[in-house]
Amino acid sequence: MKVMVVGGGGREHAIIKKLKENKEIEKIYALPGNGGMADDAECVAIGAKDIPAIVEFAKSNDIGFAVVAPDDPLVLGAVDELSKLGIPCFGPEKKAAIIEGSKVFSKNLMKKYGIPTAAYEVFDDAEKALAYLADAPIPTVIKADGLALGKGVIIAMTRDEAFDAVKSIMQDKAFGESGNQIVIEEFLEGPEVSVLSFTDGKTVVPMISSMDHKRAKDNDEGLNTGGMGTIAPNPYYTPEVAERCTKEIFLPTVNAMNAEGRTFKGCLYFGLMITKNGPKVIEYNCRFGDPETQVVLPLLESDLFEIMKSVAAGTLSEEQVKFSEKSACCVVMASDGYPVKYQSGFEITMPKDKNIYVAGAKLADGKLLTAGGRVLGVTETADTLADAIAKAYETVKTVNFENAYYRNDIGKKALEV
């Protein structure tokens, strides 16, 4: 069978490498993919947001299954269009992808169905939001309603920062139409846990838990990034926490989406904070996390393609989903200066036989060159988290490109738990 994976980053590379373990798959296309995954998939120069071109490609290339990985095409309805052609897909339809596409939708869903989350107010008028903030508790959190490349969340530590955030999102339109509405919510504290889950709308199977490292610099300093590294499993996600999450968050969310006529099929991502009052939802994503996927999938012992097919067919309850007892660590190697300003075009040399997931690279004259902020993620697994971290940093030393930057403390906090 020919399989198409929409997307082009490290997450998609991890999905593709895992799919390759299935013998039924004869060919994988990545749209657009990147030069660093050319050994694993045929990259096709079609952007992940170009739905008509994606559909046309699927039609004319006899695609038997599609995996739509990034948020944008899911929110734009790529799965709906591919399904119309009769192509089975892994990923939610547009009406379910709204759980990530609109924070106002997801907050209202949680309120309606009693799913634990930060208290909040919604505003579509900047003056009213500013008036509310004049005596709201500080710190506070301001979120643009729509997709904003992961930058639409502002943690305001002072009242002035909160005012500035509202002005920037609603008046200066820093995130365009995504800022027509905002959510202002209670600031929560506690360790964060990412839990990705497979669901066909009836059964929900949480994957192994993980921990992202979003800040650019060691000790969680510097700017927010798309993620500088991950570890799995997350030590804060104890069996007791897991049980509460399943009962209070995972099942109620899947049931709520069904009750709204928005059945979610695909990977539902729960961004959780373990507060002193129990686990609460910080955010939902309608897709695999990046770089969480780069530690979760290497620990998956079952066949990813079989699971994806059963999610699409609605038969997930019959599927075995087994994770290894091991731990994993992914260290992201970025271009120095990311997430602000950085140079690209440097040659990358790296070992071929490792779990290295390439995100920002291109092929030119047979050479692999850096072509993005986050260039690649190096993942290692081991019996203990300490060993996985040590191995990942050993492998990082064997990867070379000019201007490489990475954090030196991925997993350090987890080891101290």
Binding site for ligand GLY (CB under 6 A): 150, 212, 227, 285, 289-290, 292
Give me the helix-helix angle, 94-101 and 251-259, nearest 10°.
130
For residues 187 and 384, what is the distance between their CA atoms, to the nearest angstrom?
34
For residues 103 and 187, what is the distance between their CA atoms, to the nearest angstrom?
16
Token pair of 169, please?
């999102």
Q: Which residues contact 69 (CB under 8 A, 6 or more apart)?
A: 5, 6, 7, 11, 12, 15, 91, 287, 288
Could you tell which of ligand AMP, ligand GLY, none binds residue 292, using a CB distance below 5 to 8 A set by kind? ligand GLY
CB atoms within 10 A of CB 191: 17
Token pair of 127, please?
């003056």
Could you tell which of ligand AMP, ligand GLY, none binds residue 285, using a CB distance below 5 to 8 A set by kind? ligand GLY
- Smallest Cα–Cα separation from 284: which of 140, 116, 76? 116
Could you tell which of ligand GLY, ligand AMP, none binds residue 190, using a CB distance below 5 to 8 A set by kind? none
Could you tell which of ligand AMP, ligand GLY, none binds residue 188, using a CB distance below 5 to 8 A set by kind? ligand AMP
Position 32, amino acid: P
For residues 275 and 302, which CB has a smaller minimum distance to ligand AMP in the complex? 275
Give DSSP secondary structure letters for 260-318.
TT----EEEEEEEEEETTEEEEEEEESS--TTTHHHHGGGB-S-HHHHHHHHHHT-GGG
Q: How far is the CB of 189 from ligand AMP (least distance, A)?
A: 7
For residues 355 and 228, what is the distance between their CA atoms, to the nearest angstrom?
16
Kindly give the pairing relationship between strand 374-382 and strand 355-358: antiparallel
For residues 236 and 190, what is the distance between their CA atoms, to the nearest angstrom?
10
Could you tell which of ligand AMP, ligand GLY, none binds residue 153, using a CB distance below 5 to 8 A set by kind? ligand AMP
Could you tell which of ligand AMP, ligand GLY, none binds residue 384, using a CB distance below 5 to 8 A set by kind? none
Q: How far is the CB of 85 from ligand AMP (least distance, A)?
A: 33
For residues 71 and 319, which CB has a smaller minimum distance to ligand AMP in the complex? 71
For residues 377 and 332, what is the distance between their CA atoms, to the nearest angstrom?
4
For residues 150 and 190, which CB has a smaller minimum distance to ligand GLY in the complex? 150
Q: How far is the CB of 125 from ligand AMP (least distance, A)?
A: 22
For residues 62 and 187, which CB has a smaller minimum distance to ligand AMP in the complex? 187
Could you tell which of ligand AMP, ligand GLY, none binds residue 118, using a CB distance below 5 to 8 A set by kind? ligand AMP
Q: How far is the CB of 293 from ligand GLY (least distance, A)?
A: 8
Could you tell which of ligand GLY, ligand AMP, none binds residue 42, using a CB distance below 5 to 8 A set by kind? none
Give φ, ψ of 409 to 5 degrees. Answer: -125, 30
For residues 35 and 289, which CB has a smaller minimum distance to ligand GLY in the complex? 289
Q: Which residues contact 251 (CB under 8 A, 6 or more apart)?
A: 204
Q: How far is the CB of 8 from ligand GLY (least distance, A)?
A: 15
For residues 10 and 36, which CB has a smaller minimum distance to ligand GLY in the complex? 10
Q: How far is the CB of 87 from ligand GLY (least distance, A)?
A: 25
For residues 13 and 38, what is the distance between their CA atoms, to the nearest angstrom?
10
For residues 291 and 228, what is the distance between their CA atoms, to the nearest angstrom?
8
Q: How far is the CB of 384 from ligand AMP (least distance, A)?
A: 26
Q: How far is the CB of 56 from ligand AMP (least distance, A)?
A: 33
Q: Which residues contact 84 (CB under 8 A, 6 or more apart)?
A: none
Q: How far is the CB of 234 from ligand AMP (least distance, A)?
A: 13
Question: Which positions lie near ligand AMP, rule CB under 6 A?
Answer: 118, 141, 150, 153, 155, 185-188, 192, 214, 271, 282-283
For residues 188 and 414, which CB has a smaller minimum distance to ligand AMP in the complex? 188
For residues 183 and 256, which CB has a smaller minimum distance to ligand AMP in the complex? 183
Q: Which residue is nearest to ligand GLY (CB)?
A: 289
Could you tell which of ligand GLY, ligand AMP, none binds residue 109, using a CB distance below 5 to 8 A set by kind? none
